[in-house]
Amino acid sequence: MKKTFALTHAKLNTARLTDAIKHEIKKYLARERRKALPEGTDYWTFDCRFGASAEVAGKIFTSEINKHIDAAVVQQLPEFYVEILARACQHKPRLHDEATD
């Protein structure tokens, strides 16, 4: 998902619009997590970027998306850019530590 969301709307107030944007992002993440994993991978991870525009967007964690949206509302930005790219990963094997036995 690479999308620029407007924070202004003729009929909706900002709080309602913000909730709708957060819901759309949550639905996208859930849809991507339901996809079949490629052979040899365990889970989906997401590479996320957020900013006032695509040119100034910086890397963030998936768990920080809502905080950044709220910050954009507080800063009264007219719009913001979100990029979420799904990537299949495999867990790294844990090393057995003999000192903990």
**Residue 99: what pLDDT?**
56
- pLDDT greater than 90 at residue 42: yes
pLDDT tens digits, one per residue of 46-100:
999 999 999 999 999 999 999 999 999 999 999 999 999 999 999 888 887 655 5
Encoding tokens for residue 31? 């849809």
**Residue 57: what pLDDT?**
97
In this structure, the chain runs to a length of 101
CB 21 within 8 A of CB 70: no
Tell me the C-alpha to C-alpha distance, in Å, between residue 6 and each of 24, 52, 67, 72, 77.
Answer: 13, 10, 17, 11, 9
